Structures are given as structure tokens and as C-alpha cells.
Structure 1
Amino acid sequence: MSTATGIGSWPGEDMRTALRWVRDVLGEVESDGTRFGLPYLPELPGRGPGADMIGRAAGLLVDMPVDLQPSGWRLVDRPGRDLERARHLLRRDLDDLAEAFDGYAGPFTVSVTGPWTLAAHLRLSRGERVVGDEGARRDVAQSLVEGIRTLLADVGRVLPDATPVVKLDEPSLPAALGGELRTSSGYGRVRAVDPEEVRRVLREVVDAIRGAGAREVVAHCCAARPPLPVLRGAGVDAVSLDVALLTDRGWESVAATVEEGVTLWAGVDLADAVERRAQGREGAHHLVVDPLVRRWRELGLETHLLDDVVLTPTCGLAGATMPQAVDTHRMLLDAARELHWRIAESC
């Protein structure tokens, strides 16, 4: 059934407020017992270092302490204040989650920076990117898996009746594959990573996350050319994409991905629809649903597969206002309902 969810980040610094809105909008259950929303644990990067996606993931690493330098997060020998801050923020977020979602039963998404994006942004002690060192990137991936296991166990304790979904955020994966990442000097580029190694490492991470109890593993890559063959080969259950950026060739790759049984999380452009809804004008959800349905038909995909699509914003909402973030999620929920009922009527 068509579903609506968010990408991760929210504006502001108040996790309790963000969680309350996520539950009120996406946790709503219809009168017939159906649920069109998929709640999730937000990120609030506006709180500063350690609340950002890289800092939060770095704080999960086991036996690989980090600190924060002007160039970004760096591996170090001993844990310090920066690492403790990142871990403290996550502990506090989980406490707020337990309060806001007390008694919740159903699917719930936790987002974690994926191994390749983390390796692309994390630095070795000498300042170079982890992704440029084969041994270091392997160690980081393995350590991240252990951290995700711990995180899922913690989420399971505070939400014992939830079924976890893990979203791996990999916005920098295309740059790692394409050799587009700058060296520390700024003059060179880190050597491109072999796609087979990327696939193998991601497969190991995905399998380990499933083994830790995740119902689904989603790979999120908001690039114009997401490496879908690699992601399919890694065995993910779904891919989360900014469909507004896709070319015709990109959509063809999406079609091949969907036909292999991988679900599409479609990041859709909501600006016009949200504005129309705010003005009280009818049919705002059509601005979201119609282009997606039209593209689906052009690709010749079976209509029933469209009902599996999860609708999301094109990117996080850290730069929005709180009312804008709430309106965005409400618009997504309206669009998911419309998409589901439209498909039901056509079948």
C-alpha cells in the first residue's frame, strides 16, 4: 500500500517537538485500521556537531573513536568531548523517542549514514579521507555494523512493538565510485572505488542489519545518477531517490530495479502542492501523484507495483521552518492516500 515518510532531517533543535509531529502526522491510523504513514527518528543537525548525519554515524562506531577538526570528523586514538557529545545527543534522542512513541506498534525507520558516505567524509589521523585507504574503509564498515546492531537493540528496548526499518544514507556514493572526491590538499582526487567492492561491502552491511532484526533495509541516494545496479546487487529491499533529478535513462534503471522486486521510495517535488494546499485550493495532491503515475505508465510497469511506492520529500527539511516541515508531511500523506485509492479503482 502506498505510504508516506520523511528523509530524516528536521528544522530546529527540539527533538520532542519533531517527534510529536512525526507521530501525529505519520503515525495516524485510518478508521479501517490502515496506516499510510511510516514514522521515523528525525535528525536535527541544527543542534550542532554530533547531531549531523556524519557525526551521528561516527558516534556509532565501535572501538574507533573520533573527534571534530576544521576539516570534519577524524579518527583518533582516544575518545574525547566531541565523541561524547555525539553519543549524548543520540541517547537523549532515544529517551525522547521512548516518551513520544510510548505504546507504538508498527514499522519505524531509523536512518544511518551508509559505510561509503561515512568513509568519504571521515578522515584518517593524518587528514586524508578514509575512503582512500582500503584497510581503513573496511574497518569503518565493520565497526559501523556493530554500532547499528547496538542502535537497533536500543530502539527495540524503547519501542518493543515496533518493526525496524533501516535507511542507509549514501549521498556520496556516486562521488566515491566516480573518483570525484578531493584529497586533503584540494589539488588531487581520491582514486575511484571498484563497484564490485562497493557492492560486496554494502551486501555485508545489509545482511548484518537484517540479521540484527531489521524488517527492511533501504538505500538512499539523492544523486542525479544513482548507482542502481550496485544497490540492487547489494540486496537492499528499497531504494530512496530524488525522482525529480532522474533522466530518461535513470527512470529505465528504476524500472529494472522495481521489476527485480526492489521497492521505490520516490522523492517528489512538493513545493507547488504544499503552496496550493496552504491556500485551501483543492487537488493539491494531484500535483504530486499525476507525474508519478504518468511516468509509471510510460515505462510500462505494472500498475499494482505502484501501490508499493513510498513517497518522500526530495531531501531533508533542516532548512525549512517547522510549519513547512509539518505541511510537507501532511501533503505526502494526502498524496499517498490518493495514490492508493487511484490504484485500487483501476484494478
Structure 2
Amino acid sequence: MPGPVDEDEPAAPPPRWPDGAATGVGSLPGSDPREAAATVVGEVPLLPHLPELPARGVGADMLGRTAGMLVDIAIEVVPTGYRVTARPGRDHRRAVDLMRVDLDAFEEACEPARPDWVKVQAAGPWTLAAGVELHSGHRVLTDHGAVREFAESLLVGLSTHVAEVAARTGAQVLVQLDEPTLPAVLAGSLPTASGYGTVRAVGRNEVQDTLRDLVSGLGVPVIVHCCADRPPVRLLADIGAAGIGIDATRPAFSGDTALPAALDALGEVWDAGTPLMLGLVPALDPGRPVTTRELARPAFDLADRLGFDRSRLAALAIPTPTCGLAGATPAWGRRALTLARELGDVFLDPPDVSSATDRT
């Protein structure tokens, strides 16, 4: 029989993906799910992600895919975007069917590779509430009760999705909640349906509580990703997330334009041992050769400025493209993932801060 549990004994740390892992943000160019899945599993094998292929149209984009996961809430497409509807129709069924095809392709690609970890993506509750309309034409965001219902429905649907991905792949699942609209939600800068005003700002406590409930309810590691200019890093650091995703090439975080407050917030995240998913690889072909050393420089500079040994980047950073790759050419989509993987290798064995090769 097992002995008594020592209540003073510290809990085991939560499971974490391998050091040096790289991944994609979510979307890829093209419309072939098998090709996309094979590319992802081949190029970022330590943390492959379920690809999104928005070029297929309705139901394949971030909002449509996430809305298709909702339980007891259906959506349809209207001229202004996605809108809540009384019962599932063609648009809702299309989103569900596309996801099923994607899961089949991802399972097939993972079968020979058997990755230990995989990542799935979904729109976070605030971006979803900002991007979907009620029957009235107003954003879900304008109705407290509707926001709550959407968040609860997303928790149930996303939990089912995670369980299915885990069963199909045999891997541990990392969830990425995409919240690109979150800064606008907090600032109250989203236009109303009429276009003559803006939707009221949502308070930080309300935003945090909703995200915290979702993160804790999923029961698996969750990264919240916000590639906007100034993501609310401190807010996201206090919801129990396993990581925070940013575009590390944004002016607030890199080069001479880096803001002390933004850097301090990232330092606090790393001090707490929370990894950052760092967008470093251009989402579009820059039209010139790029090297991993060049792409890694913002990460090295960030570690140096914050006083972290570069050797910790393998554990504290997951390199990714700066955003989704839906707008890239197929060749650059593959190349961007290759570069992200190579950045993960560089983080495992970074150059010394005084290295001559690093200065050139």
C-alpha cells in the first residue's frame, strides 16, 4: 500500500514539451490537409501543430474552426461575418467537416513519427466574442451573458477536441488560445455594428477571470498567444497559463525602440519560469536570404537585456514564425517552419555573448 502523502512535499512540476522545441503559429498556405500535416510533422517534429488552412474558405479560418467546436451554439455566415443562428446549418456543418478531415490527416502524419507532444489552436474567448455577431448584429462582446455562454461552450467543446487529438496521436496536447483582438477589447476600440461608436471596454479583472477559468478548466497546458503590437503580458501572466506567445520582432520588444515597461513584463514572466512563444521568423518571404543567427538575434538581445543566460532560451522560449503562414507561398511556408526548428537547435547551443560570430 502507498504510504501517507506528505502535504508539505512540493507538487511535481507540470509536464512540459522538450527543450529546444519549435512550432508554428497555426495557419499554412494551400488547401491540402495531408500535405500540410506532413509538412508540420516533418519540419517541427518536437511540437507539431494541427495545421489550419484558411484558403479553403468558410469554416477553415480561426473563427470558423473555433465556432465549429462550440457546444449548443451554432453559427452561420452573413455578409458581415459569422453570426449566431438558431440551429446548425450548412456553414456550421462545413466547419465541423473540415476539422474532421484535418484530424484524419494529422493522425495519419503523426502515426509513423509518434510525437510526444502536439499543439492545437483555437480562438480565445475574447477574440471569439469580438468576432462573432448576435442575432441583433451586435458583437457577442456587447452582452455579458452571451460572453459567459460562449466561454462555457468553448471550454466543453475544446476539452472534447483535446481529448480526441490526444487519443488519435497518443501525444500530450498543448493548447494555444489565440487572442489577437484582446488589446482592442481592453481598450474599447472595436467599432459597433453601426460604425458610429465603439464597444465598451472590458475590465482587466473580467478578462482575467474568463481566461483563468478556461485555462484551469481545460486541464492541459495552455499558451495564450497575442501577436498584436502591445499584448497585455502582465495580465496574461496571471491566469495560470503555461506560456505566453508574442511577436518578438514588434518594436516594443526589439531593437532601439524596445520599451522598458514591455521588457520588464517579459522579464517577470521569465523570472516566474514561464516560457515565451517567440515569433521570430517572418510570416512572408522577405525576398532575401536569412540566417538562423540573424533571426535569433532578437531572442539573444532579449535574454541579454533581461540578464538571463542564453543557455536558458531552450527552456524559456519556443521559436515560431511571427504570425500565421496563410499568406505565404508554399515554399516559404515550409522554409519558415524549417527556420523555426533550426532556431530551436540554436537555443540548445547558443553562441557566447562575446562571440565574434554573434557580433557580425
Q: TM-score scaled by structure 1?
A: 0.90
Q: Following TM superposition, where does structure 1 have runs of at least 4 consecutive aligned residues deviating by more than 6 angstroms?
A: 271-274, 343-346
The match for 2:80 among 71, 82, 88 is 71
Supply the distance in 2 between the matched residues of 1:179 and 1:321 (Cα, whole angstroms). Answer: 35
The match for 2:127 among 110, 113, 117 is 117
Shift of residue 83 of structure 1? Answer: 0.4
Shift of residue 274 of structure 1? Answer: 8.4
Aligned: 1:105 with 2:115: yes
Aligned: 1:256 with 2:268: yes
Supply the distance in 2 between the matched residues of 1:345 and 1:287 (Cα, whole angstroms). Answer: 14
3-state SS of paired residue (2:77): strand
* Higher mean C-alpha displacement, 82-91 vs 261-270: 261-270
The match for 1:276 among 282, 289, 292 is 289
Assess if the C-alpha contact under 8 Å between 1:119 and 1:137 holds in 2. Answer: yes
Amino acid at match of 1:230: L
The match for 2:342 among 319, 322, 334 is 334
Q: 1:32-61: CA deviations, max 9, x gaps?
A: xxxxx4111010000000000000011111
Supply the distance in 2 between the matched residues of 1:150 and 1:102 (Cα, whole angstroms). Answer: 21
Assess if the C-alpha contact under 8 Å between 1:273 and 1:287 holds in 2. Answer: no
Shift of residue 157 of structure 1? Answer: 2.5
Amino acid at match of 2:304: R
Aligned to 1:318: 326
Amino acid at match of 1:333: R
Aligned to 2:229: 224
Aligned: 1:92 with 2:101: yes
Q: 1:142 to 1:87 in 2, by over 3 A?
A: same
User: How large is the Cα RMSD of the aligned pairs?
Assistant: 1.8
Supply the distance in 2 between the matched residues of 1:290 and 1:225 (Cα, whole angstroms). Answer: 20
Structure 2 runs not aligned, ≥5 long? 1-18, 253-257, 355-360
Amino acid at match of 2:31: E
3-state SS of paired residue (1:268): strand
Aligned to 1:7: 25
Aligned: 1:149 with 2:162: no
3-state SS of paired residue (2:223): strand
Aligned to 1:33: none
Aligned to 2:136: 126
Supply the distance in 2 between the matched residues of 1:236 and 1:218 (Cα, whole angstroms). Answer: 6
Identity between Structure 1 and Structure 2 (%)? 39
The match for 2:306 among 299, 302, 310 is 299
Shift of residue 345 of structure 1? Answer: 11
3-state SS of paired residue (2:241): coil
Supply the distance in 2 between the matched residues of 1:226 and 1:345 (Cα, whole angstroms). Answer: 28
Supply the distance in 1 between the matched residues of 2:345 and 2:312 (Cα, whole angstroms). Answer: 15
3-state SS of paired residue (1:167): strand
Shift of residue 24 of structure 1? Answer: 1.4
Aligned to 1:238: 243
Q: 1:36-92: CA deviations, max 9, x gaps?
A: x41110100000000000000111110011111111111111111110001010011
* Higher mean C-alpha displacement, 1-10 vs 190-199: 1-10
Assess if the C-alpha contact under 8 Å between 1:274 and 1:327 holds in 2. Answer: no
Assess if the C-alpha contact under 8 Å between 2:285 and 2:328 holds in 1. Answer: no
Shift of residue 275 of structure 1? Answer: 3.6
